[in-house]
Amino acid sequence: MKGLMLLFTGKQFLPSLKALDDCMVRWELVQTDESEEIHIVYPPNLPTGARPIVVIGHDESTFNTDDGRSKVWVKDKGVPLRKKTRGKEIMVSDFLTPGGRLQIPNEANNLLVSEYGMTDEGPNHLDPSLAACSIEYAGDTWWDGDQLVDQVLKLAISIFESAFPGCQALFLFDNATSHSAYSDNALQACMMNLRPGRGQALLRPGVTGFWHWTSVQGTQRQEGPKR
């Protein structure tokens, strides 16, 4: 599997990313008399019909409610009171650009109102100006691919369009199992019968293989009966 991933990275992913180089928006650190400032540089030789592309990286971090310093200064005969456990786990999902966190520009803070994270269940929207959200792991509450898709569609894209009008976003995600999201009719083993016949959900054909060695895998035989 490692060899296949290296092959995919070298033969497809990196060349595809390199092909977009002329459309990429960049950030430059500029030295001024008083401080350093980060300036956005748009591509000067943009191909006809293309839009500037901004790379958006996804990041996840897990914290605990009782996280604290491992070493502290104390007075004589003083012992700090600490929790016996690290407490609940809190997962934070956020989006980053080369120039910092994805957020609404200061001048547009009052122009974008999102209802994401307003319900009692599911992730919480951490800051109205950011695309970040958090969720507490407890019982059956976990972060999954459907919640990530919801965060992208309802939160990240709307903030991106406000921060970079006229640009196109290129979202990058790592290959975590929690990022796996499927449509309702996706071909999955857990949705298929063990034996031919009987009641079967109508699933669309899947694609097996790797890179350009692929084949279509249907849910029906040529003669008709469902698998």
Domain boundary assignment for the chain: 2-66+85-181, 184-227
pLDDT-derived band at 207 (thresholds 50, 70, 90) equals: confident
Q: What's the mean pLDDT in 161-179?
A: 88
pLDDT on residue 9: 75
What percent of the chain lies above the pLDDT cut of 70? Answer: 80
pLDDT on residue 146: 84
The DSSP 8-state label assigned to residue 47 in this structure reads: P
**Per-residue pLDDT tens digits for 51-107:** 999 999 999 888 887 777 667 777 777 777 777 777 788 889 999 999 899 998 876
pLDDT on residue 110: 47
What percent of the chain lies above the pLDDT cut of 90? Answer: 16
Q: Is the pLDDT assigned to residue 220 strictly greater than 70?
A: no
Q: What's the mean pLDDT in 144-150?
A: 86
Q: What's the mean pLDDT in 203-222?
A: 68
Which amino acid, 78? G
Q: 171-196: string of b/e by CB count within 10 Å (b at 16+)?
A: eeeeeeeeeeeeeeeebeeeeeeeee
| pTM, to two decimals | 0.73
**Per-residue pLDDT tens digits for 101-116:** 999 887 665 445 556 6
Q: Is the dihedral of CA 209, 214, 218, 222 positive or negative?
A: negative
pLDDT on residue 172: 92
